[in-house]
A and B are shown apart, each in its own frame.
Chain A
Amino acid sequence: MTTYIIRRLLLVPVLLFGVTVLIFAMLQFLSPVERTALYVRDFPKNDKAIEGLIKRYGFDQPIYVQYWTWLVGKVDKTSGVREGGILFGNFGYSRSASQPVAELIARRFPNTLDLTIWTVAPMILIGIWMGVQAAVHHNGFIDQAARVFSIVGTSFPTFVFGLLMLLIFYANLHWFSPGRLSDAYNQVVDSSSFTHYTSLLTFDALLNGRFDIFLDALRHMFLPILTLSYISWATFLRVTRGSMLETLRMEYVTTARAMGLPERDVIFKHAQPNAMLPVLTLAGFSIVGLLGGVLITETVFNYPGIGSAAARAATSLDVVAMLGFALFNGLILIVANLVVDVLYAFVDPRVRLS
């Protein structure tokens, strides 16, 4: 087990190196002029401006030099200040957000993490529960209803569903609002009287003893959570149902029945834990997806997470920010894969010991 984790950990730097090479390679698809042009508003009044920028950013240097500069940084000849590369957390400057990409990620990611934490439970647990019910009542009414629900869920575009939720629960009923927090609470949170212990708003609200802020934050997260859960329920339902049906046909389940185990125990002790392995994989991917930012949901509900920032960077051709997000997502993916693999080893003895 320990060697397994160590082996996986040793792989992380290799994977990260691969990711940086890949992302840097993507950057090379743009010519120096194109890369500079992205920084130029309208276009320069003098052609020499672009050449100046190309020189300033070192786009005229050999690719390996550029890669090295990008990776570890360089020394500014005029000011003598050392500018770190991505290894020192310098992901470049986002034109669309007018701030360093690392700062942007640092500010947006806690919100995404907060949303992820509150979404995971309803998304996964309810999805699994529905899938188990559908499988247990195979071909019965519940199964049929679940299948209809699942088809509707998969075919409903997030975008449409999200706007629908807004229309009903916000514009008409005024129950839930888009955004992160009500304006009045926003000012409290921004003030010095509010301590940011974790950067996660809901937890900070509780730690500050502000239950009202906690509730307000949840009220703003409700619709995103519902939307994210709804579109994922369909997938979880289908995977769980399929996996459960398969497991229920396994002979050890029949054996369990044959030995006189009550049906409840047959399902929840023998079938479900084994059926959960593919679901665990799915859950891993889903959580990675949530952590990487959910572009559409965050955008529709104006939730200031990493997804809405990425969406904005993409729509405004902010290549630097996009690469930063890609790098960050690669990092999350690698870490999350590691966690899922380790978890897998915990729940599946076959993985643990082989």
Chain B
Amino acid sequence: MRKMFTLLSLLVVASMALAACGGTSTQAPATGGDATQAPGDTSAPSGFHAADTTTLVVAESEVGIDTLDPALAYDTASGEIIQNVYETLVFYDGDATDKFVPQLASEMPTVSADGTTYTFKIRSGVKFHNGDVMTPSDVAYSFQRGLLQGGTSSPQWLLTEPFYGVGVDDVSLLVDPEGNLYDDREALSAADPATLVAACEQTKAAIVADDAAGTVTMTLKQAWGPFLPTIAQTWGSVMDQKWVVENGGWDGSCDTWQNFYGMASADDPLSGIANGTGAFTLDKFANGEEIDLVRFADYWREPSKLERVIFKQVPEWGTRFAMMQAGDADLATVPSANRSQMDALVGIYQVFDTASNTYGPEQEVCGYDETALGAAKFTPCAAGETGNGGQFRLRIGRPVISMDVLLSNWNIATSEESPNPYIGSGKLDGNGIPADFFSDVHIRKAFGYCFDFDTLLNDVFSGEAVQSFQLPLAGMPGYFPDTPHYTFDLAQCEAEFKLADLDKDGIAAGDDPEGDVWTTGFRVQMAYNQGNSTRQTIAEILAGNLASVNELFLVETLGLPWPAYLRSQRAKQLPLMTGGWQEDIHDPHNWYQPYTTGTYGGRQSLPDDVKAQFRDILERGVSETDPAKRAEIYKEANTLYYDLAVGIPLEVTTSHGFSQRWLQGVVLNPILSGNYYYPMYKE
């Protein structure tokens, strides 16, 4: 018995000792692949071999699938599963965000001259996982079902606009244009039956299947530039009508659609089951725990090389790290704070080249400097040099598809009954700001010049982000690398403050003998949701720079719990905020719509005339189908957004992704939800 005790004591001591040196242990080094291979060519062997080449394991911090119903799923976690189980008519061509290839359509659609009618030839002989054969009717049904199911927490607003008209962001507006029926199934069901049937008939008329000809024809309300990007996403997935009905879904009748309107994932019978045409079938759905996909043998193309893809929920980073080290996980969620742990074990890496918009060649790592920023941490091997043999592969530097924008509220909500807590006195007396503080363009511009972008990029994102000059992202019409943008310039900031005229006496603040913002100063609170350190730092950077321009300028940072933050934002009470957006489709419309006429425009209380100017540009932009012409239209939007300083685009972060070296065939397309596993294989 005593022996056992000694053994236990030894174990504790030994474990402490091992902890000290455990972090640097690696797999046995092996000779690496060819360092000079062509970009994008992933067929070169890595020299690393997985113990199990048929099962791919993804260790994710969260396997929380909101729903597997493609019409309802609107988050990337759900999207990743749907994207591998279901398929769309057209799909992205490799890692391009703006090129498409036919998928369930047998060829690219024919488009009418006015750009409103799309005719898809549907691929024949495609089977669903349950063995049913896909028909054009299934395709039409899938789109009709999605549109009619609607609901404001679904992605359907992206499809309602092309089919029902600009600004119609939910099917309930066809029943009540005033918008009183949003998400209220009970009230919608009580509406006039004729109106309900009419809305359904309108939808059915817009999407018509011809099973004999093997085609589906879609008629849009107006030409829609980003139509293909829109239907290439998971909400354009094709479902098996028979199967949906069998499982309690909408039967396709115009008399019953309202019973399925505004479906929450909790009520949706299709939230936890799936039957697509994709390369993988859903084998196990233990949400919040594990999801297994297995190869679909009857796939219309060559079946996938991987037999099984397992998504494991592993919330704790240390555990995921151990799984990666042990080789039990091929891919894992790596929080940015823990990247350096993985970086140290990287043996091969690829850097994204923004100029050519592609990843550069694979390079073996011969040196690692943890103090450097981004890709500069790694030193590639010179010719003839042998790499460090690190077990991980890194891809770094590709801008992602989300952006933060600094937003101000042009008309801050406040009243006698509920005084706004974030604007101090509510007057220009140095102890607050008036409600229309940000309606002065010079104030907004001053805030833009007073933001230190380099601090944000280097200190907050460790150099793994780029400043965004405009709302459109690289690779979409309307993106210009050299567009005018705000830079950190304290002199300009001061000049703009002196040009402001907040007391509206017609004299700029710099010259106003009665005093104006430059002499009175101001005090305002900038809120962020607690735990969002990026938003917090953005507020702090702004506060620091404004104070350095004039010590009377006081921005207080304030952390609010998420519900309170949301509530204040809804009430248009927040004077200053950081608005983040992750695009649904890679198109400028998906950026300008929310930031001007849509959600954020509302949060900013943009005046109607400003909204009208943008609405005009956006309507022209979205209904134009020629990319070159669209680029020119969105250039107008860029200029207007910059001149009025509606918002200050801040940053787009860049990718920093790891995998095991033996994992090949990875498609690196940021617009995809997570990974597309069909082309992947393990050595």
Residues of A within 8 A of B (CB): 30-31, 33-34, 37-41, 43-50, 52-53, 55-56, 77-79, 93-100, 104, 107, 129-130, 133, 142, 145-146, 148-149, 152, 161, 163-168, 170-172, 174, 177-179, 183, 186-187, 190, 299-302, 304, 308-309, 311-312, 315-317
Contacts and interface: CB of A to CB of B under 8 A. Distances in A.
Contacts of B64: 96-98, 312, 316
Nearest to A167: B22
Interface stretch (B105-113, B321-329, B455-463): B321-329
B189 interface: yes
A55 B272 CA distance: 26
Contacts of A94: 288
Given A47-B570, A97-B64, A78 B185 contact: yes
B588 to A, nearest CB: 19
Interface size bracket, B side: 35 or more
Contacts of A50: 570
B566 A43 contact: yes
B57 A183 contact: yes
Contact of B312 (A33, A48, A302): A302
B562 interface: yes
B598 A56 contact: no
A97 B562 contact: no
Contact of B265 (A98, A163, A171): A98
Interface stretch (B4-12, B381-389, B411-419, B612-620): B4-12
B382 to A, nearest CB: 32
A300 B316 contact: yes
Contacts of B186: 55-56, 77-78
Contacts of B563: 30-31, 33-34, 37-38
Contacts of B265: 98
- Nearest first, the 9 closest Cβ-Cβ pairs linking A and B are A34-B563, A97-B288, A52-B183, A52-B184, A93-B266, A171-B322, A163-B318, A171-B325, A167-B22
B153 A40 contact: yes
Q: Which of B271, B287, B308 lies at the interface centre, i.e. has the most chain A CB atoms within 10 A of its CB?
A: B287
Nearest to B15: A164
Interface in B299-346: 308, 310, 312-316, 318-319, 321-323, 325-326, 328
B640 interface: no
Given A96-B64, A302-B314, A48 B319 contact: no
Given A43-B599, A98-B265, A149 B12 contact: yes
- Among A94, A190, A302, chain B packs the most CB atoms within 10 A around the CB of A302
Nearest to B14: A168
A96 B185 CA distance: 24
A216 to B, nearest CB: 14
Interface string B562-593: 11101101100000000000000000000000
A33 B62 CA distance: 26
A138 to B, nearest CB: 16
A309 B288 contact: yes
Contacts of B19: 164, 167-168
B18 A44 contact: no
Contacts of A301: 319
A78 B314 contact: no
Main SS class of interface, A = helix
Contact of A302 (B271, B272, B313): B313
The listed residue with most B CB atoms (<10 A of its CB), out of A47, A48, A52, A149, is A52
10 contacts: A38-B563, A46-B170, A56-B184, A142-B5, A168-B19, A168-B22, A171-B321, A186-B284, A300-B316, A317-B562
Contacts of A37: 562-563, 566-567
B67 interface: yes
Interface string B267-290: 000011000000000001011111
B259 interface: yes
A48 B183 CA distance: 8
B318 A98 contact: no
Summarize B's interface: helix, strand, loop or mixed.
mixed
Contacts of A164: 15-16, 18-19, 22
Q: Which of B2, B22, B169 has the most CB of A within 10 A?
A: B22
Given A166-B319, A167-B18, A46 B326 contact: no
A235 B9 CA distance: 16
A29 B321 CA distance: 38
B284 to A, nearest CB: 6
Contacts of A79: 259
Contact of A149 (B8, B312, B566): B8
Interface string B40-73: 0000000000000001010000101111000000
A204 B1 CA distance: 33
Contacts of A34: 563-564, 567
B325 A308 contact: no
Contact of A183 (B169, B310, B570, B599): B310
Contacts of A96: 64, 288
A38 B264 CA distance: 13
A98 B322 contact: no
Contact of B322 (A97, A142, A170): A170
B179 interface: yes
B322 A167 contact: yes
B180 interface: yes
Contacts of A100: 266
Contacts of A43: 566, 569-570, 599
Interface string B538-569: 00000000000000000000000011101101
A145 B10 CA distance: 12
Given A98-B64, A174-B326, A177-B328, A166 B318 contact: yes
Contacts of A45: 152, 157, 169-170, 598-599
B15 A41 contact: no
Contacts of A163: 316, 318-319, 322
Given A43-B569, A178-B322, A104 B562 contact: no
Contact of A312 (B62, B308, B562): B62
Contacts of A165: 15
A38 B562 CA distance: 9
B74 interface: yes
B288 A98 contact: yes
Given A190-B284, A302-B313, 17 more contacts: A41-B153, A46-B179, A56-B183, A77-B186, A78-B259, A98-B66, A98-B272, A149-B9, A166-B318, A167-B22, A168-B15, A168-B18, A172-B25, A186-B290, A299-B319, A302-B314, A312-B64
A289 B23 CA distance: 32
Interface centre among B18, B62, B182, B185 (most CB of A within 10 A): B182
B161 to A, nearest CB: 12
Nearest to A33: B567
B201 interface: no
